[in-house]
Amino acid sequence: MPPAERLIVVGGDAAGMSAASQAKRQRPDLEVITFERGWHTSYSACGMPYLVGGLIEDPTNLIVRTPEQFARQGITARVREEVVALDLAVRRVTVRRLEDGSEYQESFDQLVLATGARPLAPELPGREAEGIYGLSVLMDGIRLREAVDREQPRHAVVVGGGYIGLEMVENLLRRGIAVTLVEAADQVMSTLDPDMAALVADELRREGVALYLGEPVQAFATRNGHVTGVVTSQRTVPADLVVLGLGVRPNVELAHQAGIALGMTGAIAVTDRLQTSAEGVWAAGDCVESRHLVSYQPVFIALGTVANKQGRICGINIGGGYARFPGVLGTAITRVGTLEIARTGLQERECRALGIDYVVGTVRGTVRAGYYPDPGWLVIKVLAERGSGRLLGAQIVGTEQAAKRIDVFAVALHAGMSANEFQYLDLSYAPPFGPTWDTPLIAARKAVEQAQAAAYTVTPWPTAPFPRRNSHR
C-alpha cells in the first residue's frame, strides 16, 4: 500500500473542520491534520453573545466537536498551534506551539487555508487596558462571560453598531447592565439602508440604550490599568466594560506570503470549487472572497453560514467529488431585544456604487392577520432594477417572527426572479401566520408599481461605477 496522502487544514473552526470532516468521510485513506491557534475546534462563534447574556449557561454547549471527537473520526486536530509559514515549493508548513513558542514542520500533499478573519481593532490610546473585550475566538466569549459574572459591571459601552454590536447590546441589557452604543457612522447596521436602520435606532433608544451615532472612538480612558471610559469625538462615556464589534478583515498573511493570489477585496481568490492559485491548495470561509449573486462582483462577506458551506464543498472536492460554491447574497439576520432585523442582496448604497438604477417598494404590515390577537408589525423594503424589475435586495425590520421571512427573498434572488413574478408567488397563509397577501408580496408589488412609473423617467447619467469593498459580519 502506498503511503497515505496527507491533508493539512489551517484553521479549526467552521470552514476548516467542515472541509476536514467531509474529505475524510469520502477518502478514509487520507491522513488529515488540522491546526488551530485558539483553544477550541468547531464551535459556534455566533453563540458567544448569548453565552455572555446567560441564555447559554455552559460554553461547551457551543462546541460542535472537540479534538477528541475528531480523533475518533481519524482526524488529528491540534489546538494552540499556529501555522506561521507556508512553503509551497517543498509543500511544508511551519507550526508554532503557542504554549512554549517552539516550532516544528509538517509536510502536506493538499492544504486548506481556513484562516478566518481578524477583528478590526483600532490602535487607540488605552486599547490595552483591562475591561476591553473583542469577540473573535470562543475563549474571548468565555473570558467576557467570566468578567461579567465576576465584576458585575454597571456601565458597558459597545463600540460598533453591526450584528455583533447589537447582539452584545441585547445580552448586556439582559444582564442588567446599562448600555451605551457608540458608532462612527451616522447609522447603526451599515448593511441596512438609513431608513431601515432608523427603525433599529428607535428601538434601541426605546430599550433604554444610550446611542451615539457619528462619533468615532478616539481613545479609552483608564485608571490603574482598567478602562473607565470611552472617548469619542464628542464626549467621554463612562464605562467599566467595553466590547468592540468593529467588523473584520480577512486573515490572509500566510497565503500572501506564500504568493497565493488575493482578490480585489483583499481576501483569497478562489475558483467555485474553492481552489486557490496554488495547485493543491484550497481555501474556505472568512479568509476568501466570494461572488455576489446579484452584482456578480467579488465581495468579502464573513458569515458562519458561508464558512460551513464552503468548508463542505472544499471537502467534497478534495475527497474526489464535485461541488461548486454558487456565491453569496449577504443574507443576514439578527435580533435586538424584541426587534428582529434581516437583509439580503444589494442595498441602495451598493446599487449606486455599481451604477444600477433601482426602484424601492416599502410597506408596513403585520406578522399575523391584522384582526388576530397581537398581530405584530414589520416593515419590508424591496429594491428592484429599473426596467427589468429584477429583484436586487430586501430588508426587514419588525417584531417576533418577522425577520426569517427574508429567506423568501434570498431564494428569489438566487433564481434571478423579478418583482413582477415575485408578487404572485404561492406563499403560505393562515391567520396565525400573516395576512392573506403576505407582506413580502405587497412589498414586491409596490416595487412593480414604482418600476412601471419609473420606466420612462429620465435620470442623470450614472457616475462611474466601481465595485467597492463590502464587509459584513
Q: Kindly tell me which of 219 and 425 has the beta carbon lying closer to a second copy.
A: 425
Report in angstroms how near the CB of residue 292 gets to a second copy at its nearest: 10
- The residue written with cell numbers 459574572 in the block is 149
Q: Kindly tell me which of 267 and 403 has the beta carbon lying closer to a second copy.
A: 403
384 binds a second copy (CB under 8 A): no
Angle of CA points 242, 161, 243, to nearest 5°: 15
Q: Kindly tell me which of 279 and 426 has the beta carbon lying closer to a second copy.
A: 426
Active site residue 287: no
320 binds a second copy (CB under 8 A): no
Q: Strand (E) positions, 37-102?
A: 75-79, 81-87, 92-97
Alpha-carbon Rg of the chain, whole angstroms? 23
Q: Extract the C-alpha cell encoding 53.
A: 447574556
Report in angstroms how near the CB of residue 447 gets to a second copy at its nearest: 15
Report in angstroms how near the CB of residue 149 gets to a second copy at its nearest: 18
Contact 281, 111 (CB under 8 A): yes
Residues with Cβ within 8 Å of residue 85, at least 6 apart in sequence: 93, 94, 254, 257
Angle of CA points 278, 327, 135, to nearest 5°: 85
Q: Which long-range contacts (CB under 8 A, 24 or more apart) does 231-238 make?
A: 232/182, 237/155, 237/157, 237/180, 237/182, 237/210, 237/212, 238/155
308 binds a second copy (CB under 8 A): yes
Question: Of these, 334, 347, 395, 399, which contacts a second copy (CB under 8 A)?
Answer: 334
371 binds a second copy (CB under 8 A): yes
Question: Of these, 147, 266, 280, 437, which contacts a second copy (CB under 8 A)?
Answer: 437
Question: Of these, 208, 326, 355, 387, which contacts a second copy (CB under 8 A)?
Answer: 326
207 binds a second copy (CB under 8 A): no
Residue 446 Cα to chain centre, angstroms? 30
What residues between 8 and 47 interact with a second copy by CB under 8 A? 14, 44, 46-47
114 binds a second copy (CB under 8 A): no
Report in angstroms how near the CB of residue 241 gets to a second copy at its nearest: 22
Mark out the alpha helices in 225-332 (DSSP H runs). Answer: 253-257, 304-318
Contact 146, 169 (CB under 8 A): no
322 binds a second copy (CB under 8 A): no
Question: Considering 46, 287, 314, 351, which one is annotated as catalytic?
Answer: 46
In 3D space, the residue among 383, 397, 293 whose CA is nearest the CA of residue 341 turns out to be: 397
Which residues are known catalytic residues? 46
Point out which residues bind a second copy (CB under 8 A): 14, 44, 46-47, 50, 55-56, 61-62, 163, 167, 293, 303-306, 308-309, 313, 325-335, 342, 344, 369, 371-373, 401, 403-408, 410-412, 414-415, 417, 421, 424-434, 436-438
